[in-house]
Amino acid sequence: MEDFLSDDDYYDSGRDSLDGLENEDSGPQWVPSKGPTCKVITKESLLAAQREDLRRVMELLSLREHHARTLLIHHRWDVEKLFAVLVEKGKACLFKEAGVSIVEHRDLDAPPPPTVMCDICIEDVPSGETTKMECGHCFCNSCWTEHFIVKINDGQSKRIKCMAHKCNAICDESVVRNLVSKTNPDLAEKFDRFLLESYIEDNKRVKWCPSTPHCGNAIRIEDDQFCEVECSCGSQFCFSCSSEAHSPCSCLMWELWVKKCRDESETVNWITVHTKSCPKCHKPVEKNGGCNLVSCICGQAFCWLCGGATGRDHTWSSIAGHSCGRYKADREKKAERAKRDLYRYMHYHNRYKAHTDSFKLESKLKGTIQEKVSILEEKESKLRDFSWVNNGLNRLFRSRRVLSYSYPFAFYMFGDELFKDEMTNEEREIKQNLFEDQQQQLEANVEKLSKFLEAPFNQYDVDKVMETRMQVINLSGITDTLCQKMYECIENDLLGPLQLGIHNIAPYRSKGIERASELSVCWGDKVNNSGKPLPPHCGSTADPLLMLGGTTESDQPSGSGSSDETGYAPRKRAKTNVPGGGRFDLNLPADVVDRN
């Protein structure tokens, strides 16, 4: 919110003077309140990403890594919650609930018996072929192995329990890994990956990037789950529902909209309601008017309701030579309704699509506009700063997005599907007027902005270029403010606090969707330099996990395997540097960024 206000203030003061606006171009855009809040987690940095959480738990409770992992998996990687349970219920309870056994069963004093009876296969097995888990239960290795295989294949890698009656203990991951890898190395690898990926799968702060083909990354956010993010692969998505970024449309509305657009039944409905095939020549015949007697171009008259051939004479309710048992008034109403619904849908869909389409076209325009700029740059010596062109273009993209998604929003906000009983017709009308007023203002200014940017300003004289520049800067400010206002209107005037729990909408970000920054990873070092000698066990379990990143990256030309040991994730893509200095950090569509 603070960000919005400062932006608002900014534009209010900036509109008066050109210099003020110029500052916008060159000066710092805003003061980020908390710094970048979302991070890209690549397969290389996945282990490092969880290191920090692991380290905190390990240090506070002086635990081994696998115990810390078991605790964290149990508490869905919510370190704060884990610590709260610790304070509230105590260590013993925390461990017991998560299935961590810290009691060491050291029977080293007494020499083990030569054979042990395994309670699972009821077989006497040489002691060397048995394994005692930390909970103290001992079974033969082949029974353990089979148990692990069944559990891993069941997708329960993250919580493989001991085989004994009522024993809640989670099996030591290194035992699982060692035993399984002897007979089934592929499965052991799968087990490792499941453990690692728990950090993504079981963590409400982390989500896979939904790109297809999958870029392999996940995104971690710090606080607000209702936000839109951009992965380093360029794909932008709604963190809350993992579909494309769709604000100011809510997740629920977007889901319905996508389904509706995919589902052509509405069109099909219309066709079945509005055309029938002639009983004689089988051509589809469209009905017009309220009369149920229709005639085909072949000359055949037939009854609209049952499709049966008839004579020609008729009144409103009866048709000569034909007695129709199927006439029902509400059938007619249904048809009317279907038609109305379809027209309504088409109205919103057309506008939604028009903006999406122009958004795509304008992405292509980016290239030609760049050319215009370079022509101007050569020609004019007085005008050197053309950042306003890029800024205007980026503002245009941003506003088009907002405009485009505002149509599905309006479709549901003022339709019967979601809010029929939430407001009276009068209320709906008032709200709709309010919203459409804003929408139209935004639309008009966006089109103006688009027109100025498309104009052949490279052929203009200096004064006219200055004029265009002022218009573009001015319109950029106006559209930004209007977008901002639209989100505010939705939040405050349309949905209200009650609906906001159901219809969550990512806040408007003037600068565009936040681009997740790559995780700067140095926790791997921190763990080792923390002064505390780590149990030797830790190093040995971490290794196979670390290697995982290196073994599956054949699709990575940038060869990053060597950096695994330090835990530093390589900066894979330099494309985040958008021409124009990247200062005006608006999101561009992925394909444009790629081309640049």
Partner 1 sequence: MWKGINTALLGRHGYNRQIGLRKASRARLFKEYKEVQREKVADPDIQLTCDDNNIFKWTALIKGPSETPFEGGVFQLAFAVPEQYPLQPPQVRFLTKIFHPNVHFKTGEICLDILKNAWSPAWTLQSVCRAIIALMAHPEPDSPLNCDSGNLLRSGDIRGYQSMARMYTRLAAMPKKG
- In the block, tokens 């290196």 appear at 550
Q: Which residue number, 180 or 486, has a Cβ lying nearer to partner 1?
A: 180
User: Are β-strands 517-518 and 38-41 bridged in parallel, bridged antiparallel, or unpaired?
Assistant: parallel
Segment interacting with partner 1 (CB under 8 A) among 104-112, 116-124, 223-231, 340-348: 116-124
Our finding on whether 143 is near partner 1 (CB under 8 A) is yes
Q: How far is the CB of 110 from Zn ion (least distance, A)?
A: 20
Pick from Zn ion, partner 1, none: which does 309 bind, CB < 5 to 8 A by kind?
none
Our finding on whether 122 is near partner 1 (CB under 8 A) is yes
Q: Which residue number, 31 or 297, has a Cβ lying nearer to Zn ion?
A: 297
Nearest to 64 by CA among 531, 567, 541: 541
Segment interacting with Zn ion (CB under 5 A) among 289-297, 335-343, 419-427, 437-445: 289-297
Q: How far is the CB of 161 from partner 1 (least distance, A)?
A: 8
- The set of catalytic residues is 291
Q: Which residue number, 217 or 391, has a Cβ lying nearer to Zn ion?
A: 217
Q: How far is the CB of 51 from partner 1 (least distance, A)?
A: 19
Our finding on whether 265 is near partner 1 (CB under 8 A) is no
| Bond prior to 213 in cis (omega within 30° of 0) | yes
The dihedral sign for the CA sequence 348, 350, 352, 355:
negative
125-154 footprint of Zn ion as x/- string (CB under 5 A): ----------x-x--x--x-----------
Q: Which of residues 538-567 bind partner 1 (CB under 8 A)?
A: 552, 555
Residues 208 and 244: their CA atoms lie apart, in Å, by 13
Residue 536 phi, psi (nearest 5)? -55, -25
Q: How far is the CB of 558 from partner 1 (least distance, A)?
A: 16
| Counts of helices then strands in the chain (DSSP H, E) | 20, 16
Residue 369 phi, psi (nearest 5)? -70, -35
Beta-bridge mates of residue 286 = 275
Q: Which residue number, 184 or 441, has a Cβ lying nearer to partner 1?
A: 184
Q: How far is the CB of 312 from Zn ion (least distance, A)?
A: 9
The Cα angle at residue 158 between residues 152 and 162, in degrees rounded to 5: 75
Residues 78 and 273: their CA atoms lie apart, in Å, by 54
Residue-wise burial string across 314-336, b where 16 or more C-beta atoms lie within 10 A, e elsewhere:
beeeebeebeeeebeeeeeeebe
| Beta-carbon contacts of residue 551 (< 8 Å; ≥ 6 apart) | none
**Number of shown-chain residues binding Zn ion (CB under 5 A):** 34
Our finding on whether 121 is near Zn ion (CB under 5 A) is yes
The one among 5, 84, 93, 121 contacting partner 1 by CB under 8 A: 121
Q: How far is the CB of 143 from partner 1 (least distance, A)?
A: 7
- In the block, tokens 């029929």 appear at 420
Segment interacting with partner 1 (CB under 8 A) among 113-121, 232-240, 352-360, 452-460: 113-121
Quick one: tokens of 226? Answer: 């209702």
Q: Which residue number, 273 or 324, has a Cβ lying nearer to Zn ion?
A: 324
Q: Reduced to 3 states, what is the DSSP secondary structure of residue 108?
A: coil
Residue 535 CB-density burial (10 A; 0-12 exposed, 13-18 middle, 19+ buried): middle
Our finding on whether 147 is near partner 1 (CB under 8 A) is yes
Nearest to 59 by CA among 582, 443, 557, 535: 535
Q: Which of residues 222-241 bind Zn ion (CB under 5 A)?
A: 231, 233, 235, 238, 240-241
Are 139 and 125 in contact by the 8 Å Cβ rule? The answer is no
Residue 28 CB-density burial (10 A; 0-12 exposed, 13-18 middle, 19+ buried): exposed
Pick from partner 1, Zn ion, none: which does 146 bind, CB < 5 to 8 A by kind?
partner 1
Residue 439 CB-density burial (10 A; 0-12 exposed, 13-18 middle, 19+ buried): buried
CA distances from 362 to 228, 400, 476, 481, 511 (A): 22, 10, 15, 21, 18
Our finding on whether 86 is near partner 1 (CB under 8 A) is no
Our finding on whether 525 is near partner 1 (CB under 8 A) is no
- In the block, tokens 């360029």 appear at 234
Our finding on whether 244 is near partner 1 (CB under 8 A) is no
* H or E segment and range at residue 253: helix 251-262
Q: Residue 235, Cβ neighbours under 10 Å: how many?
A: 19
The one among 21, 41, 163, 490 contacting partner 1 by CB under 8 A: 163
- In the block, tokens 């007023």 appear at 437
Q: Which residue number, 129 or 371, has a Cβ lying nearer to partner 1?
A: 129
Pick from Zn ion, partner 1, none: which does 214 bind, CB < 5 to 8 A by kind?
partner 1
Pick from Zn ion, partner 1, none: which does 147 bind, CB < 5 to 8 A by kind?
partner 1
Our finding on whether 190 is near partner 1 (CB under 8 A) is yes
Q: Which residue number, 149 or 586, has a Cβ lying nearer to partner 1?
A: 149
Binding-site ranges for partner 1 (CB under 8 A):
43, 119-123, 142-143, 146-147, 149-150, 153, 161-167, 184, 186-187, 189-190, 193, 197, 213-214, 216, 552, 555
Binding-site ranges for Zn ion (CB under 5 A):
118, 120-121, 135, 137, 140, 143, 162, 164, 167, 169, 209, 211, 215, 217, 231, 233, 235, 238, 240-241, 251, 278, 280-281, 291, 293, 296, 298, 300, 303, 305-306, 324
